[in-house]
Amino acid sequence: MRISNKAQYAVRAMVRLNLCVATGPVSSKTIAAKEDISLSFLEQIFVKLRRAGLVSSIRGPGGGYVLGRQADEIRIHEIIESVEQTLVPVACMDEEGRCNCDEQCITHTVWEGLGRRIRHFLSSITLADLTEDAMEQLSPAAGGLRSICHLEEKK
C-alpha cells in the first residue's frame, strides 16, 4: 500500500502551517515554494482540508491559511482521509472495510486487520507530534521562523 502524493502533500502542508502558527496566516504560494509542491495542486488540497475543517482561509493582504483546530486535536488519519476517499490497504475493499467481491475472499481478515492497524497507527499521531519532529530536524542556524514561514523578498 502506498500513501498518495496528495495525502503526503496535505500532511506536509499542515505541518508547515503549524510550524508557522506564531507568524500568522501563511500563503499557499509560500507553502508551495517551501514544500516544492505545485501551487495549483496545493490549492486543490487546501479546498479539501478547508471542507474538513482542518484549515481556515483568511482573505486580503496578509491573508493565507491557518489551522482550523489546535494541532494536538488533529490526527494524521484525518488529514489523509480529508484528501483521499479511503485508507483501505487493497482495492477490493470499500471505505467501511467490506469486500467488493460477490463472495468474501478467503484473505479478507488479513486485509481488514491491516487496514485497522494502519488507521490506528495514523490515529495515534497528532499534527503537534509531527511538528515537534520537524522542529528537531530543522537547524536553528537556518534562519529561524522567518526562513521557515516566509518567502525571501527579491531585491
Split into its structural domains, the chain has a count of 1
Residue 52: inside a domain: yes
Q: Which domain holds residue 65?
A: 5-83+127-149
Residue 14: inside a domain: yes
Residue 69: inside a domain: yes
Residue 116: inside a domain: no
Residue 46: inside a domain: yes
What are the 10-residue block averages of pLDDT along the chain, 155 residues in total?
A: 88 95 91 94 97 95 94 96 80 68 76 87 96 79 62 54
* Residue ranges in 36-107 assigned as alpha helix (H): 39-51, 76-83
Contacts of 85 (CB under 8 A, 6+ apart): 95
DSSP secondary structure letter of residue 64: E
Residue 62: inside a domain: yes
Residue 89: inside a domain: no
* CATH number (domain holding residue 70): 1.10.10.10
Q: Which of 113, 48, 108 is nearest to 81 (CA)?
A: 48
pLDDT in the model for residue 153: 52
Q: Angle of helix 76-83 relative to helix 108-123, nearest 10 degrees?
A: 120
Residue 144: inside a domain: yes
